[in-house]
Amino acid sequence: MGTSIRIKIYSMIKTTLPSILTVLIPMLFLSCDKTENDNYIAPCGKIINCHACGVDDVGNNLKWLNDLIVTSQNDKTGNYLGRIWYKKYNDQDIIVTDMSLGSGGIAYYCYKCSGENIVIEDLNFYNSLSQSDILWTNICID
């Protein structure tokens, strides 16, 4: 009777294993380099709900940041056209924008949670900004 059970188990493995491997192997390769945000595009004109600076929904509830967003919503000059990111840098919450803010050429402005402007000279920091870090954008591409 032991041989009969072994034959049934072997037969079951022989017929179902290829099906299981056909599903599992592609999943393993696809999950190695992919994250759920690889194809994410931040929505235009919508404040992304994010907890930062010790505040829930920082884009709506951090006054100076919300003032900047509201100004960019109503801007007709182009000085407030751009994106706003939230990113950690050296264990500190940083808000970054690429809006010109009337400067005529400064690429990025960085702010502490208090709204104080700071300078970050680390190009790797700016290169690491991604769509998934965006809190707000008014750059709408249809």
Res. 26: pLDDT tops 60: no
Half-sphere exposure of 23 (CA within 13 A, CB side): 4
Three-state SS for 10? helix
**pLDDT at residue 27, as a whole number:** 33
Summarize the confidence of residues 8-15 as an average pLDDT. Answer: 54
Contacts of 141 (CB under 8 A, 6+ apart): 44
Res. 66: pLDDT tops 60: yes
Q: What percent of the chain has pLDDT over 70?
A: 72
The structure's pTM equals 0.70
